[in-house]
Amino acid sequence: MHAAVKPLVFVLACLPAAWLFWAALADQLGANPAEALIRSLGDWSLRFLVLVLLVTPLRQLTGWAALARFRRMLGLFVFFYVTLHLLAYTWFDMGFDFAAVVVDVIDRPFILVGMTAFVLLLAMAVTSFNRAVRTIGAKRWQLLHRSVYGVAALAVLHFFWMRSGKNDFNEVFVYAAIFTLLLGWRLWRHLQGSRLSRRS
């Protein structure tokens, strides 16, 4: 792999945040810029989550082992965009009133689901480095990072409840289908591996 590929992917992953920052400053986010910013950051969080979960199937299908090098970086970008999404909500919707945020989490299930996904992502982000694998052990580390599929399920549920007010579920179903296919692929590969190990 060319040395410039990884920095290029990093720059490309930063572009949505840079564009949204510029659009907010230039008043290009429509009649309700706060809502547009919060939702756009949530959308990009989902898109990067899809990319993270695509890495392993693409590596297995293409045999291009170098794809694995992008998984950690893309996973951290999921955390980055979710953090910005949460920050925008806390700032523009709640005015940094953390007591009100706690009440909102308790009173609104879709906020609770989103916060739960954020906590799981935080745990994965702080253990995403090689030293963490040695500290907590490879098996515990793998178990923790497999919870990314739980994050995907929580993200879709969060999105579903958020869109239920407008009865607009088209995008929700698209993401649900993608995540279901990716999880199905992982389960299928796991079952294949189990059968081969029993035969050998």
pLDDT at 198 over 80: no
The distance of Cα 157 from the centroid of its chain, to the nearest Å, equals: 13
> Average pLDDT of 162-169?
82
Higher pLDDT, 68 or 176: 176
* Reported confidence tier of residue 197, pLDDT bands at 50, 70, 90: low
* Reported confidence tier of residue 124, pLDDT bands at 50, 70, 90: very high
* Reported confidence tier of residue 41, pLDDT bands at 50, 70, 90: very high
> Average pLDDT of 63-85?
93
- Which value, in Å, is the radius of gyration of the alpha carbons in the chain? 18
> Average pLDDT of 74-91?
97
- Token pair of 149 as six digits: 């599929």
Owner of token pair 């990314």:
148
pTM of the full structure: 0.93
Contact 175, 182 (CB under 8 A): no
CA distance 71 to 52: 6
Per-position b or e across 136-175, b if 16+ CB within 10 A of its CB: eeeeebeeebebbeebbbbbbbbbbbbbeeeeeeeebeeb
CB atoms within 10 A of CB 122: 13
Contact 157, 110 (CB under 8 A): yes
CA distance 73 to 155: 20
CA distance 165 to 114: 16
pLDDT at 58 over 80: yes
pLDDT score, position 199: 62
Lowest-pLDDT choice from 43-52, 127-136, 148-157, 171-180: 127-136
Higher pLDDT, 60 or 127: 127
